[in-house]
Chain A
Amino acid sequence: MRIKRLSAAASAVLLIALGACSSGTDKSASPEDTGPVSLTFWTWAPNMDKIADAWNAGHPNIKVTVSKQSGGDETAAKFLTAAKAGNAPDIIQAEYQMLPSFVAADAVADISGDVGTAKSEFSDGIWKLVTLGTDAVYGLPQDSGPMMLYYRTDLFAKYGIEVPKTWDDYAAAARKVHAADKSVYLGGFSSKDPGWFAGLAQQAGGQWWNVDGQTWKVGINDAATTKVADFWGGLVKDGVVDTQAQWTSDWNAALSNGKLLTWSSAVWAPGVLSSNAPGGKGKWAIAPLPQWSAGENYSGFWGGSSSAVSANSKHKKAAAQFIAWMNTDPAAADLLIKQAAVYPAATKSQALLTTAPDYFSNQADFWQQASAISSTARGFTFGPDVNVAYNAYKDNFDKAIAAKSSFTDALTATQQATLADMTKAGFQVAS
């Protein structure tokens, strides 16, 4: 009902607006060369207005106004609706996995002609996330979420385990810890976080989507990802990893009271840990994710977002200029780090991070380690229906955990749901 009412309200507003506009011809569309332009920017990172202020002070002809949004998923849905209605903002913060959906809906512009040499500022893995493997550039990377292993130094000593170098080590340690105390787990498997699983799949070398000429290749159950799913499926079946839904009060409690010894998470985890498990300050440290074979050194990405220019924008060039400044200029990077608390995507900007987060005061080289890990992270291209794949992941892995059934089957079901959706929509696909 709410949808229906909203659409009706929207049409009512539209009717009134049409009535108001009907006198005289519309002259509001100002051409780009006449005087100052003003741009709106939808973002959910904190204090972005301060970054806009810094830009506005130096650029009287391009005024950026920040409109604070609630978060990734809601903003994506809202932006797609606004783009359809023709009143989208000029600039939008877009999570990497949402960008292809925006491109597919023709809601963001190709700015390859306006961003000059920006490509050289970013690692190849991250750059691919904004080009989707094509020649176009649909946005500039803003922040990134390379994954690493967060672990409790005190409890590792207590249970007599080493930091796991490989996933085999991890499995052995998981069994050892759980055998020592039935209420304690080395780590957890989250069926609520498809982005987390996607990061682990990236680490293993999975390629969920690929563009091949005019065809999408979908490989959610490719060999690398199947290996990851099987690994966790085995641990879940044996009951040696935690499977409770994450991000609940119980999960927070487990992180604080030592029932969970590790969390394979991303570079933004200190913020989560300090608010959800404040008691653990100074007890956690970071290490690279365990590897699939000894001697390898890879990571994946969980989260992170880009800045894109709306296809509706009347001032695409100006908008592209702003996002290029925000994501590559050292002064802007400094503000991004200090005010917006993001881990910047630009390689040079990452070096600006020097003082370890307060929560990790015990690990003085936190950012040096993070930067080293970040350089090993590999991403993959996201497809145009990540929403469908992510939703199928949640449903299928929820079910597999409850039934302790095969994770390979759950992964296959996720692949099939994604393929079926793309085929139904008319995409050219091959698996």
Chain B
Amino acid sequence: MSTPAPRRDDRYGKGARAGRAGAVPYLFLAPAIVLFLLFFALPIGYTAYLSLRRTRVSGLGLGKGSRHEIFVGLDNYKDAITDAEFWRSWVRVLGYGTVVLTVMLGLALVFALILDSEAVRLARFGRISIFLPYAVPGVIASLMWGFLYLPSLSPIHQALHAVGVDDVNLLDPSILTFSLANIAVWGGTGFNMLVLYTALRATPRDYYEAARIDGASELQIAVRIKIPILLPSIVLTTIFSIIATMQVFTEPTTLRSISNTISSTWTPLMKVYRDAFVTGDLYSAAATSVIIAAISLIVSFGFLRAVRKRAFADEE
């Protein structure tokens, strides 16, 4: 790494060089730091500030000066934590997340392994068509599936009708979780598959050749070699999926308008939206957001801790 330039620099003495270098990196970092502070640190700080406040109305609340913002300490947090509906929304998300995580990541893994195997044809086409739904925005996907779930226009209902099954409500409370999970699986499998597939392609092919010479079948190679190699990527996709699941909002909110079975607080984030923009209580919304962020942190770091030893044993 040694070039003539640094050596010549030495002549100017250590002090001058350190002084110049001291300012320059910060100058380069400045845009990032400013943006970080402005768009990340400041809003989070403002959210935390709002979560400790509330408006207080006096009398009829009409006319000038009848509404004040006051400091209420942790009252908003207490309200959120003692709200039974808030915890029910977590239970719903847990059920939804279990379906999404197992089905979506399972499919992603299977597809990645199939596409990576020697025998498959049309790998390029398969890859693109599995990935394509990921490019569809969540609202569009939900609208489209919404049309498919409603009986009068839907080919799903026509197919069910053809085999003699009628009067199925795909948005019935009993199967709502699966109908919603289906949208997430449809949209998310491609992305996760691509992450896993990329990791597989980065693995030296010599391993597989050696295994084949030792007489391993494709299935054995997949289970004994590829999956262990993929473990760090699987952990990564799982964490991304856990976080996305806890923030699920678009699908249930979009489907809410066409169904009687999704409440305005079906998921935790929907409660935040309702508080902030429907009932105009920005303060409760801020407190609930902080709680959701805390739970997301605990769950994702908890998961990471639990699997770190196994998944990243090689790297430590």
A and B co-occur in one complex: yes
Q: Which residues of A contact B (CB under 8 A)?
A: 3-5, 7-9, 11-12, 77, 80, 100-101, 103-106, 110, 132, 134, 136, 191-192, 211, 214-216, 243-245, 247-250, 253-254, 384-385, 387-388, 391, 394-395, 398-399, 401-402, 421, 425-428
**Given A3-B276, A9-B39, A425-B55, is A248 in contact with B62 using a C-beta cutoff of 8 Å?**
no
Closest CB of chain A to B246's CB: distance in Å? 13
How many A-B residue pairs have C-beta atoms within 8 angstroms? Tell me: 116
CA distance A427 to B264 in the complex (A): 24
Residue B38 CB within 8 A of the other chain: yes
Closest CB of chain A to B134's CB: distance in Å? 20
Partner of B67, one of A106, A110, A254: A106
Contact of A387 with B280 in the complex, beta carbons under 8 Å: yes
**Given A104-B61, A249-B153, is A387 in contact with B259 using a C-beta cutoff of 8 Å?**
no
**Given A101-B280, A395-B265, A398-B261, is A384 in contact with B42 using a C-beta cutoff of 8 Å?**
no
Please indicate the chain A residues that have their CB under 8 angstroms from the CB of B59 in the complex. Answer: 214, 427-428
Residue B64 CB within 8 A of the other chain: yes
Q: Which residues of B contact A (CB under 8 A)?
A: 38-40, 42-44, 46-47, 55-67, 147, 150-153, 173, 257-265, 274, 276-280, 285
Closest CB of chain A to B84's CB: distance in Å? 13
Please indicate the chain B residues that have their CB under 8 angstroms from the CB of A110 in the complex. Answer: 63
Please indicate the chain B residues that have their CB under 8 angstroms from the CB of A12 in the complex. Answer: 38
Contact of B257 with A391 in the complex, beta carbons under 8 Å: no
Contact of A4 with B263 in the complex, beta carbons under 8 Å: no
CA distance A270 to B313 in the complex (A): 69
**Given A4-B46, A104-B57, A427-B60, is A245 in contact with B279 using a C-beta cutoff of 8 Å?**
no
Closest CB of chain A to B189's CB: distance in Å? 24
CA distance A402 to B261 in the complex (A): 7
CA distance A105 to B131 in the complex (A): 48
Partner of B152, one of A3, A243, A250: A250
CA distance A385 to B281 in the complex (A): 11
CA distance A214 to B63 in the complex (A): 12
Contact of A248 with B278 in the complex, beta carbons under 8 Å: no
Interface SS majority for chain A? helix
CA distance A284 to B123 in the complex (A): 57
CA distance A3 to B288 in the complex (A): 13
Output the nearest chain A residue to B146 by Cβ-Cβ distance: A248
Contact of B279 with A388 in the complex, beta carbons under 8 Å: yes
Closest CB of chain A to B265's CB: distance in Å? 7
Contact of A106 with B64 in the complex, beta carbons under 8 Å: yes
Output the nearest chain B residue to A216 by Cβ-Cβ distance: B60
**Given A104-B61, A402-B173, A428-B59, is A8 in contact with B263 using a C-beta cutoff of 8 Å?**
no
Output the nearest chain B residue to A247 by Cβ-Cβ distance: B257
10 other A-B residue contacts (CB within 8 Å) besides A136-B63, A243-B260, A425-B55: A8-B46, A103-B63, A211-B60, A244-B260, A250-B151, A384-B57, A391-B278, A398-B262, A401-B260, A428-B60
Q: 5 closest Cβ contacts across the A-B interface? A: A4-B43, A426-B57, A398-B260, A8-B43, A250-B152
Can you spell out 27 A-B residue pairs with CB atoms less than 8 angstroms apart?
A: A3-B43, A7-B43, A8-B39, A8-B43, A11-B42, A12-B38, A80-B280, A100-B62, A104-B57, A106-B65, A136-B63, A192-B257, A211-B60, A243-B260, A244-B260, A245-B257, A248-B258, A250-B153, A254-B152, A384-B60, A391-B264, A398-B263, A402-B261, A426-B56, A427-B60, A427-B61, A428-B59
CA distance A243 to B264 in the complex (A): 18
CA distance A398 to B258 in the complex (A): 11
Closest CB of chain A to B142's CB: distance in Å? 13
Partner of B279, one of A216, A387, A427: A387
CA distance A301 to B38 in the complex (A): 47
CA distance A3 to B46 in the complex (A): 11
Contact of A253 with B62 in the complex, beta carbons under 8 Å: no
CA distance A254 to B151 in the complex (A): 11
